[in-house]
Amino acid sequence: MPLPALGMALVMILLSYFLSRYMRRIGKEINSQTLITNAKEKKTDILSSSVTFIAVLLTYYKVPYVEGVIIIFFSLVTFRVGILSAKDAIFALMDVSPGEELKESIKKILDSIAGVEAYENLKCRRAGPF
């Protein structure tokens, strides 16, 4: 039984899980898109370590084609995370509006300020740490 490999995979699952939660919490607190993206990528590490754990077990029991299936799986997961990260980065570079919900919230704040009589064509964009 390959206990060292199984043990390392299990340790990586646990460490990645707690690190992902911590990075996401801090990323949301300081509004850091980079930390939030890294937290998402850590979730991929959890999945990868879990699949590695299963692959080591199946290889030990001589299940055929395990390595090929695992490689295809890792490739697809890596591709998906890359696409999602690229989408977020492209939206930030293109100054895509943060959304109607935020726009409505800003309108309510503007309406509640004494002395503001009118405003037109409210435009929103992200600014701050990424």
pLDDT tens sequence across 54-98: 998 998 898 888 888 888 988 998 898 889 888 877 887 887 777
Average pLDDT over residues 15-38: 91
Query: What percent of the chain is predicted at pLDDT more than 70?
Result: 97
Mean of pLDDT over the chain: 87
Token pair for 68? 């090929």
Q: How many other CB atoms are found less than 10 A from the CB of residue 52?
A: 19
pTM above 0.85, yes or no: no
Angle at 48 between CA 55 and CA 37, to 5 degrees: 175
Residue with more model confidence, 34 or 129: 34
State how far the Cα of 46 lies from the Cα of 88, in Å rounded to an integer.
21
Reported as a pLDDT band with limits 50, 70 and 90, residue 28 is very high
User: pLDDT at position 130, please?
Assistant: 46
pLDDT at 103 over 90: no
Reported as a pLDDT band with limits 50, 70 and 90, residue 102 is confident
Dihedral sign, Cα of residue 49, residue 25, residue 31, residue 104: positive
Determine whether 93 is exposed, middle or buried from the number of CB atoms within 10 Å of its CB (0-12, 13-18, 19+).
exposed
